[in-house]
Amino acid sequence: MDLLIKNGIVYDPINKINGEKMDIFTSNGKIVSNAKDPKVIDADGKLVLPGGVEGHSHIAGGKVNAGRIMRPEDGRKGIEPKGKLTRACSGYSVPNVYATGYRYARMGYTFVMEAAMPPMAARHTHEELIEIPIVDKGAIPLLDNHWMTMECVKSGDMDKLTAYVAWILKATKGYGIKIVNPGGVEAWAWGKNVSGLHDRVPKFDVSPAEIVKALSIANERLNLPHSIHIHCNNIGHPGNSETTLETYGLLSGVENSDRQVMHATHTQFHSYGGSNWGDFCSKADEVAKYVNAHDNLTIDLGVVMFCDTTTMTGDGPHEFNLYKLTRRKWSNHDVELETGSGVVPFVYGAKIPPHAIMWAVGIELPLLIDDPWKMMITTDHPNGCPFTFYPQIFALLMSKKKREAMISEVHPVVNSNTILPSIDRELGWNDIAIMTRAAPARILGIDKHGKGHLGSGADADISIYDISPEEVDPSRDYAKIEDAFSYTAYTIKSGQIVAKDNEIVAVPSGKTFFVDPEIDKSLMDAMLPDLELKFKEYYSINLANYPVQDAYVPNPYKISTKGA
């Protein structure tokens, strides 16, 4: 069905449209300049944005399933009965696949990136991605703690490493290079960790810094649409901002004319000062200062909100530390030669000093970083909180009064150990549009593939919210911001209305985005014998059974790249 969205107040930052009243036409799932006999949607007085782009979330795969299984109490919180078009839903912090798709769509999001896919478990991850309705999606495979990777780093063989990365992307139908606690997860297999960028990884004698630099070289050689996607060492530790800033500096001076060369994830968890929990404090100002001064780096936030959630990362030693802190349930998983993960339930309390500071750090960062194009709003779902907290986070960023109201309710340590109370900046409508649509699409490299904007030929992914930017002052009327962003008046996915006034009205299958890098055949042929030997001697499965078959990606969107 062709559509005419009439008289909406449109924010489309990629096309430099900043609150203009205008009409939008769609036809055959794309944005067009005109359409014959379209169905008219009256958007007069309503906010119209491109479909939301979630750049870093955990929605599918082994660790997500482990979180569902080990937390039946969480599953009971989010029960929604089966409807005429919808499947039964469960889960609050770890929703089932159906709830994931419906809830994102109701909020106006149309693309979600699964940010940590163990390559050996890629088939299972894709099985779950298939079942997530409506939204388009992709998954970024973990590549940093692989034996093959570290052996290439040790020998300095960048040709072999580049070929291996290309093979993994092809085999897993993955989107890019994910790095998690480089070297530390492999050390965890021996009951250890790494504490700094220059520690040596047991058995392999390489350092985190060497791993990051080498994978960045492979990423640039393959000309991937997205940069390396890095979860720094020492996540969650007091004083870890030093490691964070040193990590950012590893690629200082490295440039790419089309995009950043490093994307740093859930930066809130990496922006801490102090030497212990007693003098724990925010270092968001120092991290923001670095980001402001360097154009080759982007970040996402990983905002913490006060709730009972479920932490899950590919950082096994970090999750064990959380288990020791909380003594709650703990799941630990090792993925043979590749990676490891952990799952621990966690409650963030407003009156607990470290938690109050974590919350403040997540709000400070986007208010201190000058350029909204350098960051995307995330909660590292579900680690900081479920993604359903986004409306409240938008209100906090757009209203100092909202922040003051929350500061009055949290532990007073926020007043002494953070600078949040002194920040007057309030983000505007266009800032939110950038950080939830345009910037995530550009950072991921999918803006060139029709995402994050409303230009001619773009995918007709559109969010219409029942709020007027011309009449509502976000600074004063922050409750209206929360209400409006909780669900759309209309969510349109590929030209089809999928959600209307918080009700799912269509359940199409989304596309799966993945990268297919072209590489010189001689490099691939030189690498494969070593890889075949790894499978023969160490893996529990055969090489031939490892790659994800086409049947597991029934709605593919393949991005082909030609590397150097």
d(Cα 239, Cα 405) in Å, to the nearest integer?
Answer: 28
Tokens of 256: 């790419």
Phi, psi of 554 (to 5 degrees): -70, -20
The structural domains of the chain, ordered by start, are 51-452 (3.20.20.140)
Q: Which of 310, 244, 341, 298 is nearest to 444 (CA)?
A: 298
Residue listed under structure tokens 């750090």: 361
In angstroms, the CA 337 to CA 536 distance is 12
Closest CA to 308 of 365, 386, 414: 386
Spacing of C-alpha 169 from chain mean position: 18
Give the pLDDT of the chain (564 residues) as one tens digit per residue. 899 999 999 999 999 999 999 999 999 999 999 999 999 999 999 999 999 999 999 999 999 999 999 999 999 999 999 999 999 999 999 999 999 999 999 999 999 999 999 999 999 999 999 999 999 999 999 999 999 999 999 999 999 999 999 999 999 999 999 999 999 999 999 999 999 999 999 999 999 999 999 999 999 999 999 999 999 999 999 999 999 999 999 999 999 999 999 999 999 999 999 999 999 999 999 999 999 999 999 999 999 999 999 999 999 999 999 999 999 999 999 999 999 999 999 999 999 999 999 999 999 999 999 999 999 999 999 999 999 999 999 999 999 999 999 999 999 999 999 999 999 999 999 999 999 999 999 999 999 999 999 999 999 999 999 999 999 999 999 999 999 999 999 999 999 999 999 999 999 999 999 999 999 999 999 999 999 999 999 999 999 999 999 999 999 999 999 987
Q: No. of H helices and E strands in the chain?
A: 19, 24
Please answer whether residues 35 and 92 qualify as being in contact, where contact means their C-beta atoms are separated by less than 8 angstroms.
no
**Cα–Cα distance between 201 and 464 in angstroms, integer?**
50
Query: Quick check: helix, strand or coil at residue 318?
Result: helix
3-state secondary structure of 529: helix
| DSSP-derived secondary structure for 154-169 | HHT-HHHHHHHHHHHH
Q: Give residue 477's pLDDT.
A: 97
Could you tell me the end-to-end alpha-carbon distance of the chain, in angstroms, rounded to an integer? Answer: 43
**Taken in order 466, 470, 474, 479, is the CA torsion positive or negative?**
negative
What DSSP state is assigned to residue 51? P
d(CA 500, CA 5): 14
* Cβ contact 394:330 at 8 Å: no
The 8 Å CB, 24+ separation contacts for 192-197 are 192/317, 193/317, 194/233, 195/233, 195/234, 196/233, 196/234, 196/243, 197/233, 197/243, 197/246, 197/247, 197/250
Question: Residue 544: CB partners within 8 Å, gap ≥ 6?
Answer: none
Q: Where are the alpha helices (DSSP H) in 49-146?
A: 62-70, 72-75, 97-106, 122-131
CA distance 8 to 244: 42
CA pair distance 400, 36, nearest whole angstrom: 46
Q: What is the C-alpha to C-alpha distance for residues 188 and 101, in angstroms, rounded to an integer? A: 34
Catalogue the E-assigned strands of 146-252: 178-180, 228-231
Rounded CA separation 321/515 (Å)? 35
Question: Do residues 202 and 187 touch, judged by C-beta distance below 8 A?
Answer: yes
Residue 491 to residue 52: CA distance in whole angstroms: 10
Give which of 109, 3, 13, 46 is closest to 454, Cα–Cα.
13
How far is residue 231's CA from residue 244's CA, in Å, rounded to a whole number?
9
449 closest CA partner among 362, 380, 512, 367: 512
Rounded Cα gap, residues 494 and 422, in angstroms:
43
At residue 514, the pLDDT reads 98
The rounded distance, in Å, linking the Cα atoms of 162 and 19 is 44
Peptide bond into 382 cis (omega under 30): yes
pLDDT at 251: 97
- d(Cα 475, Cα 545) in Å, to the nearest integer? 56
Distances 281 to 271, 346, 469 between C-alpha atoms, Å: 9, 20, 36
Q: How far apart are CA 196 and CA 243, in angstroms?
A: 7
Which pLDDT does position 1 carry in this prediction?
Answer: 85
* DSSP H or E stretch at residue 113: strand 109-117
Token pair of 345 as six digits:
């339930």
Q: In this structure, which amino acid lies at residue 471?
A: E
DSSP classification of residue 199:
P
**For residue 246, is it left (φ>0), alpha (ψ between -120 and 50) or beta?**
alpha
What distance in Å separates the CA atoms of residue 444 and residue 224, rounded to the nearest whole number? 10
| Tokens 């359940």 belong to residue | 507
Local structure of 547: helix, strand or coil: coil
β-bridge mates for residue 414, sequence order: none
Q: What share of the chain is helix, strand, coil (3-state, %, to 5)?
A: 40, 25, 40
